[in-house]
Amino acid sequence: KQEVTQIPAALSVPEGENLVLNCSFTDSAIYNLQWFRQDPGKGLTSLLLIQSSQREQTSGRLNASLDKSSGRSTLYIAASQPGDSATYLCAVFTGGGNKLTFGTGTQLKVEL
Q: Which is nearer to another protein, 14 or 43 (CB)?
A: 43
Q: Which of 9, 14, 5 shows the shortest CA–CA distance to 109?
A: 14
Q: Which of 27, 49, 54, 62 binds another protein (CB under 8 A)?
A: 49
Which listed range, 13-21, 65-73, 77-85, 89-97, lies at the site for another protein (CB under 8 A)?
A: 89-97
Q: Which of 108, 112, 111 shows the shortest CA–CA distance to 11?
A: 108
Alpha-helical runs (H) found in the chain: none
Q: Which is nearer to another protein, 87 or 112 (CB)?
A: 87
Q: Which of 93, 106, 108, 110 binds another protein (CB under 8 A)?
A: 93
* Helix (DSSP H) and strand (DSSP E) numbers for the chain: 0, 11
